[in-house]
């Protein structure tokens, strides 16, 4: 059972007024499925109370029939008084592999010239913050960017991108990504109850990651940034099996304890055949509102680690009060336009990091045969 199965079941439920199925009538506003829980919101505008109740019962019965012998823990059907949308279009067929010039081979609807994973050996090093600001920075340079929250167990994008009040839209069999901060984003956190713990075994995490990749209508992208869960577990293995990555970025704080785990993460990527584009030192120092710098974790440790590993150092990113506030309020774009002294310094370091990763991705693509160097004479 998955979201596609729920959607197909609803397509066969007749709309009392339109004379077609609920999907064709544009009455399906939201579909979510996770670990035995199905949630559906239907637009019941134009229906009286009895008709709305009938549609609710019919939809629930159809979803239960579609599950067959599989046990559903809960089927929640909500019928609102909102007017139905226009009939949903058929999903676009996935483009052939390699449809973009120089694009790596990918499965499903993903068409991206560069796919970059952002990982870390341990939690709490600001990996998601780096992934979000990398995506924002690339988008500000004019690139078409997608950001996928692959942190299945602890998704951060709903908060960091301000997605809390936005519902995921389903078009046919595909999930439409959120269009925020000039990029496309998708997270498992938008498809499940935000208060529900995701207690999943490996196969469940594999299925969730696969759904985010293959059932999100990413379209054509220059970059797809994937925020991975910390550690060296199932999701990274699933990603390596499904996608041909340009490379991975390892995030680390200056602390020795963080470096030990970051080394394991870098070696995991190398073992999976994923090129390590380099290391970012996050929370390298704290900049107060008065402009004074404090080396809370000790500066430069991640840079020395990158040298030992023989991989590029991609830059150091400080932490500021505004960075924390912008992350919690879902406004990461503000990190690049804060006019305060601390804000300007943060933006400069973020832009340096983005440019370094952009350059390393281009070099990796050349090494892997996905692109050719160009010479412009003017």
The separation between CA 72 and the C-alpha centre of its own chain, rounded to angstroms, equals 27
Question: Taking the domains of the chain in order of start, what are their residue ranges?
Answer: 3-80, 111-368
pLDDT digits (tens, 9 = 90+) for 61-95: 898 888 876 667 788 888 888 776 543 333 333 33
Per-residue pLDDT of 151-209, as tens digits, reads: 877 788 889 998 876 777 777 778 889 899 999 999 887 766 566 555 555 567 667 78
Q: How far apart are CA 139 and CA 351, in angstroms?
A: 12
Question: Rg of the chain's alpha carbons, rounded to an integer?
Answer: 22
Q: Which fold has domain 111-368?
A: Rossmann fold (3.40.50)
Ordered DSSP codes for 4-58: HHHHHHHHTSBPTTTSSBTTTTT-EEEEEEETTEEEEEEE-TT--HHHHHHHHHH
pTM strictly above 0.85: no
186-224 burial: b if 16+ Cβ within 10 Å, else e: bbbbbbbeeeeebebeeebbbbbbbbbbbbbbbbebbbb
Classify residue 243 by its DSSP letter: B
What fold, for 3-80?
GMP Synthetase; Chain A, domain 3 (3.30.300)
3-state class of 167 per DSSP?
coil
In which residue are the tokens 């500066």 written? 299
125 alpha carbon, distance to own chain's centre: 18
Report DSSP letters for 180-214, one per residue. Answer: ETTEEEEEGGGTS-TTS-----HHHHHHHHHHHHH
Per-residue pLDDT of the chain (378 residues; tens, 9 = 90+): 777 788 888 888 988 887 788 887 888 888 887 767 788 888 888 888 888 898 999 999 898 888 876 667 788 888 888 776 543 333 333 333 333 333 443 434 578 999 999 998 778 898 999 999 999 999 999 999 999 988 877 788 889 998 876 777 777 778 889 899 999 999 887 766 566 555 555 567 667 788 888 888 898 999 999 998 877 667 887 888 788 899 999 999 998 888 888 898 899 998 888 999 999 999 999 988 777 888 888 888 889 999 999 999 999 999 999 999 999 999 999 999 999 888 899 999 999 999 999 999 999 999 888 654 454 554
Hey, do 3-80 and 111-368 end up sharing a CATH topology, with the first three levels equal? no
Residue 21 burial (CB < 10 Å; 0-12/13-18/19+)?
A: middle
Give the whole-angstrom CA distance, residue 113 versus residue 135: 14
Element (H, E) at 221: strand 220-227
């Amino acid at each position: 059972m998955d979201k596609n199965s729920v959607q197909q079941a609803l397509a066969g439920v007749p709309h009392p007024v339109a004379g077609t199925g609920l999907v064709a009538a544009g009455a399906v506003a939201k579909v979510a499925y996770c670990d035995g829980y199905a949630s559906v919101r239907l637009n019941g505008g134009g229906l009286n109370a009895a008709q709305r109740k009938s549609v609710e019962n019919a939809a629930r019965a159809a979803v239960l029939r579609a599950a067959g012998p599989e046990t559903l823990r809960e089927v929640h059907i909500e019928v609102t008084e909102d007017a139905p949308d226009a009939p949903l279009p058929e999903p676009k067929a996935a483009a052939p592999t390699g449809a973009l010039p120089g694009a790596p081979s990918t499965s499903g609807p993903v068409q991206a010239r560069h796919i970059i994973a952002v990982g870390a050996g341990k939690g709490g090093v600001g990996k998601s913050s780096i992934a979000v600001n990398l995506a924002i920075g690339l988008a500000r340079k004019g690139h078409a960017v997608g950001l996928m929250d692959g942190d299945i167990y602890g998704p951060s994008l709903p908060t960091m991108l301000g997605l809390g009040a936005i519902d995921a839209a389903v078009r046919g069999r595909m999930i439409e990504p959120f269009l925020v901060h000039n990029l496309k984003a998708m997270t498992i956190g938008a498809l499940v109850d935000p208060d529900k713990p995701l207690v999943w075994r490996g196969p469940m995490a594999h299925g969730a990651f696969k759904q985010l990749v293959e059932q999100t209508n990413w379209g054509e992208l220059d970059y797809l940034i994937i925020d991975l869960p910390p550690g060296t577990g199932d999701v990274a293995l699933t990603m390596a099996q499904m996608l041909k990555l340009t490379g991975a970025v390892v995030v680390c704080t200056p602390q020795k304890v963080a470096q030990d785990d970051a080394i394991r993460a870098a070696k995991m990527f190398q073992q999976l055949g994923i090129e390590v584009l380099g290391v970012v030192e996050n929370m390298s120092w704290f900049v107060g509102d008065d402009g004074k710098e404090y080396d809370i974790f000790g500066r430069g440790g991640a840079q020395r680690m990158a040298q030992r590993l023989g991989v590029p150092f991609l830059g150091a990113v400080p932490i500021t009060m505004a960075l924390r506030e912008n992350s919690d309020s879902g406004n990461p774009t503000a990190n690049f336009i804060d006019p305060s002294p601390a804000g300007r310094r943060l933006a400069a370091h973020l832009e340096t990091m983005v440019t370094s990763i952009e350059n390393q991705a281009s070099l990796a693509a050349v090494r892997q045969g996905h692109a050719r160097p160009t010479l412009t004479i003017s």
